[in-house]
Structure 1
Amino acid sequence: MKAIISNKYGSPDDLELKEIAAPIPNDDQVLVKIHAASLNYGNLVLLTGKPFLARFAFGLSKPKYIIPGGDISGRIESVGKNVKHLKPGDDVFGDLSGCGWGGFAEYVAVPEHALVLKPENISFEEAAAVPMAATTALQSLRDKGKITSGQKVLINGASGGVGTFAVQIAKSFGAEVTGVCSTRNIDIVKSLGADYVIDYTKEDFTKNKEHYDLILAVNGYQPISAYNRSLRSNGRYVQVGGSGVQLTEAMVLGPLLSISGNKKMGSFLQRANQNDLKFIKDLLEAGKLKPIIDKSYALSEVPNAFRYFEEGHTQGKIVITI
């Protein structure tokens, strides 16, 4: 099979398209013929080895997982004898970040708990855009942010991969949603159901005297003190993306501010979860959630996809068609 290989930490220039042996599933795995995959921030960490702390999970001197790619969709070709819920011919989608990655390839062998049946009302490309970003949005809002109906929620970075899902998921929980994005993305964020949209090129939301029950920071940079100022009493701030400075502040200053005040502030890291993916599948089937795809690339064009992703202006997701 063809696959993108990453043998060392570096840049998109270090990625190679190679012909390698297709995987053979063990008794607890299924073999998936991959139709599409997508890019996430985790893919970039696996490529570059930055921040350095990530290497304790991905490999200190070189990548432990040589085929990048976490989100996939495809069709099951065969199953191991212990597999109970999936069968050959099933169309599936899932997050491979918890079981070895390997999505930028024509085939992958994975345990069935990494996969969920693909909704019939979306394409393989749309399905591949969903798992990691949508699960991040769901877990950060519901589990870390404790979102409830009627709350005022602000999403900074509302037009990116996680942000586009976060706007829709927050609306599905009955929240009043304000999205923050650039001028060119206002229409996209409005189309996702945001009640209000702030153009960060024209207005600093941390200075407009509005206060929010929950702030989700998935892009850009604002000091944590500014986010703190924009939170209501007993509000919550959740950091899931943005600059390295923003991550450091959330990890170091967030717990201190949470102890000294009546607000909860901190960072969040997504974990692959089949039950959460099933929850997201239900939203997709009900028409309450739709993926936004910016660009599609062929498997041979994955280095170019990474270069575009690194520019930081993606509208929704970048998909790899295989």
Structure 2
Amino acid sequence: MATGLSPSALGVPGVVAELRAARERWRTSQHRLQEVGGRELPAREALAEVVGQLRGALFPMRLGPPDLRQEHEDEYIAATLHTALGALLEQVRLELRHQARTRDSGETEADSQARALALVRAFGSSLPTLRQLLDSDVLAAFQGDPAARSVDEVLLCYPGIHAMIHHRIAHRLHMLGTPLLARIVAELAHGETGIDIHPGARIGAGFFIDHGTGVVIGETAEIGRNVRLYQAVTLGAKRFETDEAGHIQKGGARHPVLEDDVVIYAGATVLGRVTIGRGSTIGGNVWLTHSVPPGSRINQAQHTGAGPGAEAT
């Protein structure tokens, strides 16, 4: 050993025993059954590899292997999808089995297997539609940024596009009934870009996030077509409903609705189930908690003592 010391000298056996006790306490408190065999939940590492393969299949000559030739695109896509969807199938099986256990649904292993296969087939069949949506996002970024020299630069370099590739994949998985897989895919992009989009958010075609760092889009947000956000924009919840015990209640529409052609500038915060009307512009650092009609121009309040984030008037 590099240290020249035994595990006992370093206290390893005692730590192992205490960690085992901590795991057992957690599993007991969460009513987890004793698992025998392999992993019971999807693996982040496996999903990262699947998403990388899907990116290549969606954009083979830009995000695929560097030695790919155009005449071999279909062969590459077929082989890549076979590998990616096969790996995704195993992750879907893990989540569906976990759902069946935690919900005590009575679903058999055969039922879970059949449902997993149908889900993955449905996901695969949606990839052409996802490609069209992503093309609209790339074009929106190119047309909306005077610094963009080409659509290729946008696809290869822009963090907002990277985040949207993940989101389009994650949202489809979310809608198909695998929210844990979807959340992992979304968080992979969050960690890489600083853009936090919940997979439940509904986002229309031609969506452009410029710069991107610090953008937060909540689970029930609904965004129309040709919407543009800048860095540090938050589309969040204003308050959370609680039950009699004071616990936050899950679900419920609590995030903003942005209609078509809305622009929100850097640092703005829009909270609650409010509607930003079509063609509206929200200025930088605005704090907005009420709906505005179509064509509105909202700027930060200008009055003595109003600091950053003053509520719009």
TM-score (norm. length: structure 1): 0.26
Of structures 1 and 2, the one with the larger relative CO (CA 8 A, separation 6+) is: 1
User: Which of these two proteins has the greater Rg computed from alpha carbons?
Assistant: 2
**Greater fraction strand:** 1
TM-score (norm. length: structure 2): 0.26
**Greater fraction helix:** 2
